[in-house]
Every structure is written in structure tokens, then in C-alpha cells.
Structure 1
Amino acid sequence: METVNLKDIFSALSKQIKIDYDELASSIPHNGERGSGREEVVKELLREYLPQRFGVDSGFVIDIHGKLSRQADIIIYDRFIAPRFKILKNKYLYPCESVVAVGEVKSHMSKIELEDAIAKLKIVRELDRTGNGTNTARSGYHFGLESKLSPQNNNCDAIWTFIFCLDSPNLETVTKNLAESLKALERPKWPNLVCILNKGIISYRSNTGLVTDPREAISLYHSTEDEAEHALLKWFMLLCQDICNTHITVIDSINYLQSPHTKVRNHPLRR
């Protein structure tokens, strides 16, 4: 029986993405267009390899109260659980109940860029996936769970967040900058994973080893230099594993229609 080496496949893919990034950097002088190009490379990768139930796009995430995220570079959403709402030619609003992950894409992980990404992802984590406390956790499409969604306490109920970057200072420096940036935030608002394509990944360590849930963390974790070529593989596998376990829920359509300012008029029924 023939076998394949997944590490070799993703190592080759990492090299190809590096080539794509370098071509964009040299051929697109306008920073805004270059940023869009970086995002497209990552989105195409995710579309190619993620399970088909997931859609990948850019746009905005909204909750039942009408609260809105800032424009997100990467939105991964469940195609079958909720509609998306078109607001511009190629921009959509995604109900937070159907969104399983949001990511920010950077070319170089300076401290300023890191803090900008954390601030954007924090807003996503503050959106209300509970539907005012009424949404029931659901895994897949055929059954519901007994518990209510609780993103504050349960990683599976929260939108998974990540930062993807082409390059950075050494991982030790980025990890120290990350630790400093996280001090002012509650743990449920911390990003799950940082991937730096030419360096490695940064996440968390628990008593049992590498974890992506900051609630379980006893320290930050970063990979070693000799693992750099496999950073993309680790990022993708951890992302895919976690979003496949993320709880989703059907949106409360009536309350979404009332958000934020729809007037309601009642008329008595004749008996």
C-alpha cells in the first residue's frame, strides 16, 4: 500500500505560499492591495483543505444586538446553519452563531501589528453568541446538546481566533510581546493561536501539553526553530481540529430582524 507524508506536502505548500507572498510584495506597490493579496493566499489555502461544510471569506461579524466586528481578514463560517447578508459588492455580514473562526493576516509581526490584531479579535470575542442567553449548544446538524452556549467558560462555544503572519522577529521576542499585550485582557478574549510562516507557532501550554484554549494555560508555548518548516501544518491541523468541535446554533431570526431598532406594533385578535 502506498503512503504519503503529510509533513512533506505541507512543507512544500509553505514554500509555495512564501513565493506567492514575495511575488505580491514585489509586484503590488499599494499597501492596501498587497494586504488583500495576502489574505487571498490564506483564504484559498483554507478553501482547498478545510471540510466542505465550512465557507471562507472576509467581511464583518454581527450579533443579535446589532453589534459589529471590525472588518475581518478571514472569516470561517458554517455554510448550512445561517444566512449571510450582502452589504457591498463583495462584502457580507455573518451572524456570529454560524462563525467558527476569525483570523487576522499580517506580513510582519511587529509589536504594533500584533496589538492591532489582538484588538480586532477581542471585538469578535465580545459578540454575543448566546442570543441573550437563549441559544442551545449544537454540534453538527442532527442533534442538540442540553447546555446553553457559554463562550466565557467553554472554548467550544467561542469563536476561534488566530493571527497568521509571514515573518517576524524571533519567536521569543514575539512571545514576550504577546504576553505583554495579553495582560490587560480576560483569558476568554485571548487569541487561540499565532502562526508565523517562517518561524513557527505560538499558543499555550497546560499541565498536559500544548493546548489552544487560553483558559487552560499555565504558560505560553512557542515552537522551536527546527520546526519552522512545519508551522503551516501545525497551524492548519490545530485550526481544523478545533473548529470541527466548535458548537454552532441556529440564529433567532425574529430577534435578528428586530435588531437593532425595528418597531413592533401589536393588534388584538377577535374572539
Structure 2
Amino acid sequence: MKPLVEYCSGAVRSLSAQYEMTNVLGHSATAGSARERLIQDFLIAHLPEMTSVVSGMIIDSYGQRSKQQDIVLMLKSMPRLPFASGHDLIFQEATIATFEIKTEITPATLEHIASNIQSVKALKSSTGEGVQLGNLSWPYRRILSAIITYKGSPLINIEEKLSTLPESSQPDIYLDLTKGILIKNEGTLFEQEGENTYLKFDDPAIGLARLLALLSKVTGRLVMHGVKWEQYIL
């Protein structure tokens, strides 16, 4: 077993154990917040230093805003509008990726999550200007969308449901910490294989390792996004 996979196998067990500990809280909203925080802390500890891990809504210069996002990865070189609640307003140009964190997911619950993803993809950058260095396989202005669940329905059932959703509502990555990972099969994150909408890996340790590797591609680049700040004012 390669060291990264062995590490992620232990990390999956650790996250699952901490998830079980939150059951003592007894209040679903409080437990949900604690479980989101577990994933947020894990990402903070494992992602490149040029990325901030926050929560909140994303806004663009056209007056649009996304729905509340559990976790947002943003460029440290960009500002945000912070609030004491921890739910910030994040500029579209600063956003790298979004995460929805759920205790349990079934095909029936994916509709609500899909609308959150669509609300982010509907936002527009004020300009296409900017530069980047490093891994250039990920589209320059695209915001990665991911779903993480502590447990869920079989991956084949989730894949079938996701495939029926509009492309603008489909996540790039779906990780189940008990079952494995689905990765969009479009030739961007991985070379395209076959015609299925998603590539499926039925192992949570492999899934977490692949998530970290893919996030390193997306967040490990040196990126500077241009912004027409006047558009946010006038």
C-alpha cells in the first residue's frame, strides 16, 4: 500500500470515529455543524498554504449571490467580507472550490444539494484577466464543486441520480467516507474513460487520496485573478 493511501485509510477511520463522537450532541443542527467543522479542519491541515478554507455565500459583480455554502476554498491573495458568525461573503473571482458536507445522502436528497451547486455555477466573473503558473489542466476560471458525506446510498445509485441532473447541477466530485468516490468523467480531472458520467472508485481510502490529489492540482497553482472592482460598486 502506497504511503498516501495508507495515510488516508487511517484518516478515514479517524474522521469516522470523530463523526460517531458527535452523536452524543443529540441535536441534529449542532451535530451537523460539528461534522462540517471536522471536514473543514481536515482540509485546512492538508491543503497548500495559498488557500483559505471558509464558509458563506459567494457574490459576483452583477448582484447575484449563491446559496449558503458549507465550505469554500478561496485564494488568500483575495479579500472577503467577513462576519463574526463565520458565514462570510466571498467574491466570485476569489473562489476556487465549494463543498457540501452531509451526514447522510440518498438519491432523493440530492436535489437540494444540486440547487446549491447550480447557484454557484450561475455566477459570473467580472473579467477573464489574470495569470496562473503550475498545473494548467484545470480550467482557469472554473470553480470546482464537491460533495462529502459520512455515509450514503450505494455509489451506483448516487451515480444514476447525478447523471439525470442538468450539467450545471452536477458536482465534479462526490466522496462517501464509507463507500468511495465518484469523479466527473469529462477528461479534465482524469483522462476520460468510456461514456459514463462519472468514474467510480469503490474504496473510501482511495477516494480520500484521490480527493487530496485533485485538490492539490486545483489549489497548488499560483493564480492571480483580475477583478473589475468598479463593477462591485456601480
| TM-score with structure 1 setting the length | 0.77
Structure 2: distance between partners of 1:228 and 1:92: 31
Asked whether the 8 Å contact 1:78–1:98 carries over to 2, the reply is: yes
Match of 1:107 in 2: 103
Match of 1:128 in 2: 124
Asked whether the 8 Å contact 1:100–1:246 carries over to 2, the reply is: no
Match of 2:61 in 1: 64
**CA deviation after TM superposition for structure 1 residue 171, in Å:** 1.1
Between structure 1 and structure 2, the one with the greater Rg is: 1
Answering whether residue 76 of structure 2 is matched by residue 79 of structure 1, we say: yes
Match of 1:15 in 2: 13
**CA deviation after TM superposition for structure 1 residue 170, in Å:** 1.3
**CA deviation after TM superposition for structure 1 residue 217, in Å:** 8.2
**CA deviation after TM superposition for structure 1 residue 87, in Å:** 4.2
Match of 1:93 in 2: 89
Asked whether the 8 Å contact 2:51–2:219 carries over to 1, the reply is: no
1:175 counterpart letter in structure 2: E
| TM-score with structure 2 setting the length | 0.88
Query: Where in structure 1 are there 5+ consecutive unaligned residues?
Result: 142-153, 259-271
Asked whether the 8 Å contact 2:12–2:204 carries over to 1, the reply is: no
Match of 1:52 in 2: 49
Identity of aligned residues (%): 21
2:66 counterpart letter in structure 1: S
CA RMSD in angstroms comes to 2.7
With over 3 angstroms needed to count, the CA separation of the structure-2 counterparts of 1:220 and 1:135, relative to structure 1, is closer
Q: How many residues align?
A: 231
SS at match of 1:155: coil
Match of 2:132 in 1: 139
With over 3 angstroms needed to count, the CA separation of the structure-2 counterparts of 1:248 and 1:69, relative to structure 1, is farther
Query: Where in structure 2 are there 5+ consecutive unaligned residues?
Result: none
**CA deviation after TM superposition for structure 1 residue 237, in Å:** 1.2
**CA deviation after TM superposition for structure 1 residue 229, in Å:** 2.9
Q: Which has the higher contact order (CA 8 A, sep 6+)?
A: 2
2:232 corresponds to which of 256, 259, 263: 256
Structure 2: distance between partners of 1:216 and 1:6: 24
Match of 1:168 in 2: 152
Asked whether the 8 Å contact 2:54–2:71 carries over to 1, the reply is: yes
With over 3 angstroms needed to count, the CA separation of the structure-2 counterparts of 1:65 and 1:216, relative to structure 1, is farther
Match of 2:173 in 1: 193
